[in-house]
Amino acid sequence: MKDQSPRGGRIINNGSISAHAPRPFSVSYTATKHAITGLTKSTALDCRKYDIACGQVDIGNAATPLTERMVKGGGILQPTGEYMIEPRMDPENVGKAVVYMASLPLDANVLFMTVMATTMPFVGRG
């Protein structure tokens, strides 16, 4: 992106709300998502002079195979020690968010965007 003509471009990293409020027993996943957040900030800063914008979409409970365990059986472990079934959202919502971020001109950037199931227990989780 630095050397192409015209110069510049946009990078959109796949983050997670776990980088802001981790789930119990998720140290590996949470650590990697913290790393993505640092990578996003550093790239956004260091690549400005090359007309490269960098942002991150933080996803919460998209209905994918990864989140099936949130709606099966008794649900997923909560910070309180209880298990709870959690709402999920259509992954198409994440796609729409990424399309929006990508459609901006390079003089504008969404540094962080959170897309989540409206009633999932994130706000207030930590």
Q: What is the DSSP letter of 73?
A: T
User: What domain range includes position 30?
Assistant: 9-116
Q: What is the mean pLDDT of the chain?
A: 93
Q: Would you state the pLDDT for residue 123?
A: 72
Sign of CA dihedral 37, 42, 47, 51: positive
Q: What is the pTM of this model?
A: 0.89
What's the structural domain count of the chain?
A: 1
Find tokens 């956004």 and name the residue: 44
Residue 55 lies in a domain: yes
Can you tell me the distance from the alpha carbon of 72 to that of 63, in angstroms, rounded to the nearest whole number? 12
Task: Report the share of the chain in percent with pLDDT over 90.
Answer: 84
**Domain at 42, CATH number:** 3.40.50.720
Residue 87 lies in a domain: yes
Residues catalogued as catalytic: 29
